[in-house]
Amino acid sequence: MKIGLSFDIDWAPEEMIEDTLNLLKGYPNVNATFFATHKSNALEKAGYEIGIHPNFKPLLMCESNKNFKEIIDELLDIYPESKGFRAHTLTTSTFILEYISQVGLKYESNCLLPYSKRLRIFNYVYGLVKIPFNFEDDVHFGFNYPFELKFLNMEHDDLFIFNFHPIHIYSNNATPEHYSNVKKKTIIQQK
């Protein structure tokens, strides 16, 4: 079985990102991809793959004067070596997919299939590779399932891809209510 690790940093402060990075230091042979919403010095120094994690929600809510290309380009200016794309709230469209291919991104990971078996990576439109994932910590909250590996029943999977958020790791969030309280007390600026 292959296990993939990804992290959506979602405007987490450096302290929270560093906490996640410090956990990974204990496993030097483990690779991970971090999808970045903003510049993080800790993340840049850590040496992990960094994909972009643009936020299209303000655009969709008519709260932004930027278009989707400008939002993507801003993150690519910060992380020009990025090869991967996962949008905040998993927003996508053929226009977005075509554009990320044009600007040199190689894969998108916008498809969450909770607890899905037989997960597969495959070639997708515009020369992109699609990398779905089957676990996300905040979605797991919504199912009210325990945070136990045995619950995930991974024994018969060839591939299992986890996605975590540094704020949940740092705060050890186990419920949506706990996360909501932590978020209110933590300054997380979204652009």
CATH code, domain with 128: 3.20.20.370
* pLDDT at residue 9 is higher than 90: yes
Q: For the chain, how many structural domains are there in total?
A: 1
Q: Give the span between the Cα atoms of 64 and 50, in whole angstroms.
A: 25
Give me the residues paired with residue 162 across strands.
5, 135
The pLDDT-based confidence of 89 (bands split at 50, 70, 90) is: very high
Is residue 190 in a domain? no
Is residue 167 in a domain? yes
Is residue 37 in a domain? yes
CA 55 to chain centroid, in Å, comes to: 11
Is residue 148 in a domain? yes
Mean pLDDT of 22-26: 94
Domain that holds residue 13: 2-185
Is residue 60 in a domain? yes
What pLDDT is recorded for position 190?
A: 53
* pLDDT at residue 30 is higher than 80: yes
Is residue 129 in a domain? yes
CA atoms within a 13 Å half-sphere pointing along the CA-CB vector of 170 = 20
Is residue 125 in a domain? yes
Q: Give the span between the Cα atoms of 190 and 63, in whole angstroms.
A: 12
What pLDDT is recorded for position 144?
A: 81
The pLDDT-based confidence of 146 (bands split at 50, 70, 90) is: confident
The pLDDT-based confidence of 51 (bands split at 50, 70, 90) is: very high
Predicted confidence (pLDDT) per residue in 96-136, tens digit: 999 999 999 999 999 999 998 889 999 999 999 999 999 99
Predicted confidence (pLDDT) per residue in 56-76, tens digit: 988 888 898 999 999 999 999
* Helix ranges, 10-56 (H): 14-25, 41-46
* CB-count exposure of residue 78 (10 Å: 0-12, 13-18, 19+): middle
Quote the pTM value.
Answer: 0.91
Is residue 191 in a domain? no
